[in-house]
Chain A
């Protein structure tokens, strides 16, 4: 096994050229478990911790551009939690302080677990993921990147470098169901975005399918029911119940040792309902704060 610790993308590509099968290592919180627990022995490891281009974030107009190396703790910071509130909420539910300090957004994408907590948020925000290789860069949507449970479309020599997201878009909610209050794999998670300016509702579900699922019919339904001028819903109780039913119908959960399909389906419905209720209630109270820059 060989380990490389490049300090630039160029260096990283060079290592990947030599070892096309190399595993990428960012925060280590998934990868090291594979080494220690599952006893995987890759022939080479390219550690991305010091690659300058992957660190930090910036604002580009109405977009936040996150370096793939950004940690969950950094996502919870004051500025980013204002610009990407749903993502900050998701980051807070990951693991523990130790895991949040080390784990990265790029890693959550690269691992592509069906239960990955940031993935429903990225799906709901229609994130663009920028993948780079020596041949250049390509931008993909989440559903093109994550193609199945723990499977991405990354090719040899490719590295996730950036994630681009709309800044402070509308109202955002993230809910995660787990059987313990810390260090828990999601049994179900739901991300909801109500884009007031763009007149659309986006709802993504996690842990109820091989990858994050956009509940399209539910989205269309709620989009059509929101009065975008008054930012309210007539007949809200019935509407949110129907919304929840459509969310449940979109879920494709399984039974496993953590939970049952029946419970997971039920849980995403409850979470989706509560998420939309909260957003609508906040609007009624004229809450600022979240979505302060909402346009």
Chain B
């Protein structure tokens, strides 16, 4: 299968060892299958759905598009790293629940990360700006209506 290597990745504030991994693995695969972080999802592995969205050095990217071995040295944050603790939810997560924005939930982790990124950079987005910000996250269940409500709720709570 080719060369197997070891390297370290910084994820959610912790350093993780990756051992004997095939070089061609993308970050999504490594997070899910090697680092015990299955929160990021694989719905297309082509950068077309956003379900694998993570933050890399504070920037929203598709983890399936990142060659894991090249992410050494980057500060990676996944959905698992967004809530403050085991019994806590981030305000965005709570808003998704409160507004009924979760159905099957497969797109949800990627959306949570995208919305966190959006509100971090643009605390008071218009509806169109929200739509554009989440245009890289496909959802098949909700039609985005409740998701937009959840973003609005989180946005208003942060300002209020």
Q: Specify which of A36, A96, A181 is in contact with B26 (CB 8 Å cutoff).
A: A36
Judged by a CB distance under 8 angstroms, whether B59 is at the interface is: yes
Q: How large is the interface on B (under 10, 10 to 19, 20 to 34, 35 or more residues)?
A: 20 to 34
Q: How large is the interface on A (under 10, 10 to 19, 20 to 34, 35 or more residues)?
A: 20 to 34
Once the chains bind, are B69 and A5 in contact (CB under 8 Å)?
yes
Once the chains bind, are B60 and A28 in contact (CB under 8 Å)?
no
A289 to B133 alpha-carbon distance, docked (Å): 25
0/1 string, B125-160, CB within 8 A of A gives 1 = 000000011011100000000000000000000000
Query: Would you give the shortest CB distance from A110 to chain B, in whole angstroms?
Result: 15
A5 to B9 alpha-carbon distance, docked (Å): 14
Once the chains bind, are B24 and A182 in contact (CB under 8 Å)?
no
Once the chains bind, are B135 and A97 in contact (CB under 8 Å)?
yes
A212 to B43 alpha-carbon distance, docked (Å): 32
Contacts of A135 in B (CB 8 A): none
Contacts of B62 in A (CB 8 A): 29, 98-99, 102
A41-49, A53-61, A232-240, A271-279: which lies at the B interface?
A41-49
Judged by a CB distance under 8 angstroms, whether B92 is at the interface is: no
Once the chains bind, are A98 and B61 in contact (CB under 8 Å)?
yes
Q: Specify which of B3, B64, B67, B133 is in contact with A47 (CB 8 Å cutoff).
A: B67
Q: List 22 A-B contacts (CB under 8 A).
A: A1-B24, A2-B3, A27-B65, A28-B65, A28-B66, A29-B62, A32-B26, A36-B26, A36-B64, A41-B2, A47-B70, A73-B59, A95-B136, A96-B50, A96-B136, A97-B136, A98-B61, A99-B136, A101-B60, A181-B135, A182-B132, A182-B135
Using A32-B64, A41-B2 as known contacts, list a sample of 18 further A-B pairs with CB atoms less than 8 Å apart, ordered by residue number in A.
A3-B23, A5-B69, A29-B62, A29-B65, A32-B26, A32-B47, A32-B66, A33-B65, A47-B67, A50-B73, A96-B50, A96-B135, A97-B60, A98-B47, A98-B50, A101-B59, A102-B66, A182-B132
